[in-house]
């Protein structure tokens, strides 16, 4: 599940680019491709919601001793430019495929994957999740996804999505 969970988080991170471009295409009368893009973005969000909810139910939570917990919020603002980039095509898209936008989107996705920037994800934020950086009991940096607005240091009940990416079990340890 780890590679799938990570890929899904990356795809939902770039989904707003597709939604904005779908709006641009719809504005240019290209409804078929606009619907496909919007449907794909919404489908990814739905699958991501199922994954996060399902992981809590299917995978047994384990205790994590977490310290130095800080919210991961600042990086997302830098990506607003990426989400707005399709608006440059507003002049009247000549074709449904904008190769420059595709190359840019793939470049963003590769960067997000390589840098493990799963927290740059407005879709997951809309689902009510927040991302936190923390140190585990060995001192390694980890990323925790949680529905909690405040995450206190201590023992947390988590579901391990990957070595770096953990989901706080929302049914245990209410903070």
Give the pLDDT mean for 117-131.
86
174 pLDDT above the threshold of 50: no
More confident residue, 76 or 22: 22
More confident residue, 128 or 173: 128
Extract the runs of DSSP E, i.e. beta strands, from 37-137.
62-71, 130-135
Query: What pTM does this model have?
Result: 0.77
How far is Cα 111 from Cα 14, in angstroms, rounded to an integer? 11
99 pLDDT above the threshold of 60: yes
Question: What confidence category does residue 4 fall into, taking pLDDT thresholds of 50, 70 and 90?
Answer: confident
175 pLDDT above the threshold of 50: no
| Structure confidence at residue 173 (pLDDT) | 43
75 pLDDT above the threshold of 50: yes
More confident residue, 13 or 99: 13
84 pLDDT above the threshold of 80: no
3-class DSSP state of 136: coil
Output the six-digit token pair for 65.
């001793």
The b/e string for 63-77 (b: 16+ C-beta within 10 A; e otherwise) is: ebebeebeebeeebe
Q: Residue written as tokens 């989901």? A: 167
Domain chopping of the chain, boundaries? 2-89+96-168
- Helix (H) or strand (E) holding 44, with range, is helix 31-58
| Structure confidence at residue 31 (pLDDT) | 93
User: In this predicted structure, which of 1-10, 85-94, 116-125, 155-164 has the lowest mean pLDDT?
Assistant: 85-94
């Amino acid at each position: 599940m780890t590679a799938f969970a990570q890929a899904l988080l990356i795809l939902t991170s770039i989904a707003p680019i597709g939604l904005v471009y779908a709006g641009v295409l719809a504005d240019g009368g290209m409804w078929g491709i606009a619907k496909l893009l919007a449907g794909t973005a919404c489908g990814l969000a739905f699958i991501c919601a199922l994954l996060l909810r399902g992981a809590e139910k299917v995978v047994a939570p384990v205790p994590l001793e977490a310290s130095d917990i800080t919210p991961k919020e600042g990086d997302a603002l830098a990506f607003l430019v990426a989400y707005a980039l399709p608006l440059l095509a507003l002049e009247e898209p000549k074709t449904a495929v904008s190769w420059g936008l595709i190359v840019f989107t793939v470049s963003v996705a590769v960067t997000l994957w390589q840098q493990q920037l799963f927290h740059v994800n407005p879709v997951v934020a809309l689902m009510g999740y927040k991302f936190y950086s923390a140190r585990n009991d060995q001192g390694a940096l980890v990323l925790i996804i949680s529905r909690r607005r405040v995450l206190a240091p201590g023992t947390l009940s988590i579901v391990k999505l990957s070595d770096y990416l953990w989901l706080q079990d929302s049914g245990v340890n209410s903070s």
